Amino acid sequence: DADVTQTPRNRITKTGKRIMLECSQTKGHDRMYWYRQDPGLGLRLIYYSFDVKDINKGEISDGYSVSRQAQAKFSLSLESAIPNQTALYFCATSDWDRENGYTFGSGTRLTVV
Amino acid sequence: GEDVEQSLFLSVREGDSSVINCTYTDSSSTYLYWYKQEPGAGLQLLTYIFSNMDMKQDQRLTVLLNKKDKHLSLRIADTQTGDSAIYFCAETQSGGSYIPTFGRGTSLIVHP
Protein backbone atom coordinates (compact mmCIF):
# COMPACT_ATOMS: atom_id res chain seq x y z
CA ASP A 1 0.00 0.00 0.00
CA ALA A 2 1.09 3.54 -0.70
CA ASP A 3 2.32 5.65 2.20
CA VAL A 4 -0.14 8.42 1.29
CA THR A 5 -3.39 7.37 -0.40
CA GLN A 6 -5.76 9.78 -2.06
CA THR A 7 -9.28 8.96 -3.17
CA PRO A 8 -10.72 9.33 -5.71
CA ARG A 9 -7.96 9.43 -8.34
CA ASN A 10 -10.22 11.16 -10.83
CA ARG A 11 -13.51 12.96 -10.42
CA ILE A 12 -15.79 14.94 -12.67
CA THR A 13 -18.44 17.01 -10.92
CA LYS A 14 -20.94 19.69 -11.79
CA THR A 15 -20.81 23.34 -10.80
CA GLY A 16 -22.43 23.90 -7.42
CA LYS A 17 -21.98 20.35 -6.14
CA ARG A 18 -20.27 19.56 -2.85
CA ILE A 19 -17.32 17.24 -3.15
CA MET A 20 -14.88 15.69 -0.70
CA LEU A 21 -11.37 14.51 -1.45
CA GLU A 22 -9.88 12.09 1.03
CA CYS A 23 -6.35 11.44 2.16
CA SER A 24 -5.00 8.78 4.48
CA GLN A 25 -1.41 8.03 5.46
CA THR A 26 0.54 5.21 7.05
CA LYS A 27 3.69 7.25 7.70
CA GLY A 28 2.71 8.14 11.25
CA HIS A 29 3.37 11.80 10.49
CA ASP A 30 1.68 14.54 12.47
CA ARG A 31 1.77 17.13 9.70
CA MET A 32 -0.55 16.96 6.70
CA TYR A 33 -1.14 19.34 3.80
CA TRP A 34 -3.39 19.94 0.81
CA TYR A 35 -2.00 21.52 -2.36
CA ARG A 36 -3.40 22.21 -5.77
CA GLN A 37 -1.34 22.11 -8.92
CA ASP A 38 -2.17 24.06 -12.05
CA PRO A 39 -0.03 23.99 -15.21
CA GLY A 40 2.66 26.66 -15.07
CA LEU A 41 1.67 27.74 -11.55
CA GLY A 42 3.36 25.03 -9.56
CA LEU A 43 2.01 24.01 -6.16
CA ARG A 44 -0.17 26.25 -4.05
CA LEU A 45 -0.97 25.48 -0.43
CA ILE A 46 -4.67 25.28 0.44
CA TYR A 47 -4.70 24.12 4.09
CA TYR A 48 -2.36 22.43 6.50
CA SER A 49 -2.58 20.71 9.87
CA PHE A 50 0.20 20.07 12.36
CA ASP A 51 -1.85 17.74 14.54
CA VAL A 52 -5.42 16.57 14.99
CA LYS A 53 -6.54 19.75 16.74
CA ASP A 54 -4.67 22.14 14.48
CA ILE A 55 -6.01 23.54 11.18
CA ASN A 56 -4.40 26.43 9.28
CA LYS A 57 -5.26 28.26 6.09
CA GLY A 58 -2.78 28.33 3.27
CA GLU A 59 -2.45 30.88 0.50
CA ILE A 60 -5.60 29.87 -1.41
CA SER A 61 -8.14 28.59 1.15
CA ASP A 62 -11.21 30.46 -0.15
CA GLY A 63 -13.84 28.03 -1.41
CA TYR A 64 -12.29 25.09 0.45
CA SER A 65 -12.61 23.54 3.89
CA VAL A 66 -10.81 20.67 5.60
CA SER A 67 -11.31 18.15 8.36
CA ARG A 68 -8.61 16.29 10.28
CA GLN A 69 -10.53 13.24 11.43
CA ALA A 70 -7.52 11.43 12.91
CA GLN A 71 -3.75 11.60 12.77
CA ALA A 72 -3.88 9.51 9.62
CA LYS A 73 -6.79 11.20 7.83
CA PHE A 74 -7.15 14.66 6.34
CA SER A 75 -10.00 15.45 3.95
CA LEU A 76 -10.56 18.45 1.68
CA SER A 77 -14.04 19.68 0.77
CA LEU A 78 -15.29 21.98 -1.92
CA GLU A 79 -18.62 23.23 -0.58
CA SER A 80 -19.90 24.48 -3.93
CA ALA A 81 -17.57 23.55 -6.76
CA ILE A 82 -16.81 26.05 -9.51
CA PRO A 83 -14.97 25.50 -12.82
CA ASN A 84 -11.82 27.35 -11.78
CA GLN A 85 -11.33 24.72 -9.08
CA THR A 86 -10.52 22.27 -11.84
CA ALA A 87 -6.99 21.17 -10.98
CA LEU A 88 -4.79 18.39 -9.71
CA TYR A 89 -4.97 18.12 -5.91
CA PHE A 90 -2.22 16.64 -3.76
CA CYS A 91 -2.14 15.58 -0.16
CA ALA A 92 1.25 15.47 1.53
CA THR A 93 2.66 14.57 4.93
CA SER A 94 5.83 15.36 6.80
CA ASP A 95 7.42 14.82 10.15
CA TRP A 96 9.24 17.41 12.23
CA ASP A 97 12.63 16.51 10.70
CA ARG A 98 13.02 18.70 7.64
CA GLU A 99 15.68 16.46 6.15
CA ASN A 100 13.00 14.02 5.06
CA GLY A 101 10.92 16.57 3.18
CA TYR A 102 7.37 15.74 2.18
CA THR A 103 5.71 12.49 1.15
CA PHE A 104 3.07 13.12 -1.52
CA GLY A 105 0.05 11.15 -2.57
CA SER A 106 -0.55 10.35 -6.23
CA GLY A 107 -3.07 13.14 -6.61
CA THR A 108 -6.75 13.60 -7.43
CA ARG A 109 -7.59 15.06 -10.81
CA LEU A 110 -10.76 17.09 -10.34
CA THR A 111 -12.78 18.51 -13.21
CA VAL A 112 -15.69 20.85 -12.52
CA VAL A 113 -18.06 21.26 -15.47
CA GLY B 1 8.58 38.69 -7.59
CA GLU B 2 8.35 35.03 -6.76
CA ASP B 3 10.19 33.63 -3.78
CA VAL B 4 11.55 30.66 -5.73
CA GLU B 5 12.10 30.90 -9.48
CA GLN B 6 12.83 28.26 -12.07
CA SER B 7 12.79 28.22 -15.83
CA LEU B 8 9.79 26.27 -17.12
CA PHE B 9 11.39 24.01 -19.72
CA LEU B 10 14.67 22.25 -20.48
CA SER B 11 15.36 19.95 -23.41
CA VAL B 12 18.44 17.70 -23.63
CA ARG B 13 19.67 14.71 -25.58
CA GLU B 14 19.97 11.31 -23.98
CA GLY B 15 23.44 10.83 -22.56
CA ASP B 16 24.10 14.54 -22.08
CA SER B 17 24.16 16.28 -18.71
CA SER B 18 21.15 18.31 -17.60
CA VAL B 19 21.42 21.34 -15.36
CA ILE B 20 18.26 22.69 -13.77
CA ASN B 21 18.58 26.04 -12.07
CA CYS B 22 16.68 27.70 -9.25
CA THR B 23 16.98 31.07 -7.53
CA TYR B 24 15.45 32.04 -4.22
CA THR B 25 15.07 35.30 -2.40
CA ASP B 26 15.17 34.52 1.31
CA SER B 27 18.66 34.63 2.76
CA SER B 28 17.45 32.74 5.85
CA SER B 29 16.68 29.63 3.78
CA THR B 30 18.16 26.63 5.54
CA TYR B 31 17.00 23.49 3.74
CA LEU B 32 16.71 23.42 -0.04
CA TYR B 33 15.14 20.52 -1.87
CA TRP B 34 14.74 19.00 -5.29
CA TYR B 35 11.59 17.01 -6.02
CA LYS B 36 10.76 15.00 -9.15
CA GLN B 37 7.24 14.56 -10.53
CA GLU B 38 6.73 11.87 -13.14
CA PRO B 39 3.58 11.93 -15.30
CA GLY B 40 0.49 10.95 -13.36
CA ALA B 41 2.28 10.83 -10.04
CA GLY B 42 2.92 12.94 -6.99
CA LEU B 43 6.20 14.62 -6.18
CA GLN B 44 9.07 12.52 -4.85
CA LEU B 45 11.94 13.93 -2.86
CA LEU B 46 15.17 13.49 -4.84
CA THR B 47 17.63 15.18 -2.55
CA TYR B 48 18.12 18.09 -0.21
CA ILE B 49 21.02 20.31 0.78
CA PHE B 50 21.53 22.16 4.01
CA SER B 51 22.60 25.76 3.84
CA ASN B 52 26.02 25.16 5.39
CA MET B 53 26.98 22.97 2.41
CA ASP B 54 27.88 24.08 -1.09
CA MET B 55 27.75 20.74 -2.86
CA LYS B 56 26.11 17.37 -2.45
CA GLN B 57 26.50 14.38 -4.74
CA ASP B 58 24.35 11.29 -4.95
CA GLN B 59 25.10 8.92 -7.84
CA ARG B 60 24.14 10.80 -11.04
CA LEU B 61 22.81 13.82 -9.15
CA THR B 62 24.93 16.79 -8.07
CA VAL B 63 23.44 19.71 -6.17
CA LEU B 64 25.31 22.99 -6.05
CA LEU B 65 24.40 25.81 -3.69
CA ASN B 66 25.69 29.37 -4.03
CA LYS B 67 24.41 31.16 -0.94
CA LYS B 68 25.86 34.50 -1.94
CA ASP B 69 23.85 34.53 -5.19
CA LYS B 70 20.94 32.54 -3.70
CA HIS B 71 21.27 30.05 -6.53
CA LEU B 72 20.65 26.31 -6.44
CA SER B 73 21.25 23.88 -9.28
CA LEU B 74 20.63 20.21 -9.96
CA ARG B 75 22.92 18.44 -12.40
CA ILE B 76 21.89 15.08 -13.78
CA ALA B 77 24.77 13.23 -15.42
CA ASP B 78 24.18 10.87 -18.35
CA THR B 79 20.54 11.90 -18.65
CA GLN B 80 18.17 9.09 -19.60
CA THR B 81 14.66 9.14 -21.09
CA GLY B 82 13.41 7.99 -17.69
CA ASP B 83 14.61 11.28 -16.25
CA SER B 84 11.92 13.11 -18.23
CA ALA B 85 9.75 14.71 -15.56
CA ILE B 86 8.98 17.99 -13.84
CA TYR B 87 11.60 19.03 -11.28
CA PHE B 88 10.65 21.31 -8.41
CA CYS B 89 12.97 23.36 -6.29
CA ALA B 90 11.78 24.17 -2.74
CA GLU B 91 13.19 25.97 0.27
CA THR B 92 12.37 26.30 3.95
CA GLN B 93 13.41 29.09 6.23
CA SER B 94 15.10 28.95 9.58
CA GLY B 95 12.08 30.06 11.60
CA GLY B 96 8.34 29.82 11.50
CA SER B 97 6.35 26.80 10.39
CA TYR B 98 9.04 25.26 8.13
CA ILE B 99 6.51 24.93 5.32
CA PRO B 100 8.48 24.89 2.08
CA THR B 101 8.02 27.35 -0.73
CA PHE B 102 7.99 25.60 -4.09
CA GLY B 103 9.10 26.89 -7.45
CA ARG B 104 6.82 26.45 -10.46
CA GLY B 105 8.75 23.44 -11.70
CA THR B 106 11.01 22.79 -14.69
CA SER B 107 9.82 20.31 -17.31
CA LEU B 108 12.82 18.24 -18.43
CA ILE B 109 12.38 16.63 -21.83
CA VAL B 110 14.98 14.05 -22.83
CA HIS B 111 15.28 13.27 -26.54
CA PRO B 112 16.63 9.92 -27.73
Query: Would you state the pLDDT for residue B98?
Result: 79
Q: Is the pLDDT confidence value at A1 over 70? A: no
Query: Would you state the pLDDT for residue B99?
Result: 86
The minimal CB distance from B88 to the residues A40, A42, A100 is found for A42
Structural contact between residues A80 and A20, judged by C-beta atoms closer than 8 angstroms: no
**What distance in Å separates the CA atoms of residue B30 and residue A111, rounded to the nearest whole number?**
37
**Chain B residue whose CA is closest to A38:** B104
**What distance in Å separates the CA atoms of residue A93 and residue A25, rounded to the nearest whole number?**
8
DSSP helix, strand, coil percent of chain A (3-state; round to 5): 5, 60, 35
Q: What is the pLDDT of residues B2-44, one digit of tens each?
A: 689 998 999 999 999 999 999 998 877 788 999 999 998 999 9
Query: Would you state the pLDDT for residue B53?
Result: 87
Query: Would you state the pLDDT for residue B96?
Result: 65
Distance from the A109 Cα atom to the nearest Cα atom in chain B, whole angstroms: 9
Phi, psi of A83 (to 5 degrees): -55, -30
Q: By C-alpha distance, which of B1, B23, B28, B3 is closest to B74?
A: B23
Q: How confident is the model at residue A39 (pLDDT cuts 50, 70, 90)?
A: confident
The minimal CB distance from A42 to the residues B41, B97, B102 is found for B102
**What distance in Å separates the CA atoms of residue A50 and residue A96, rounded to the nearest whole number?**
9
Query: Would you state the pLDDT for residue B1?
Result: 52
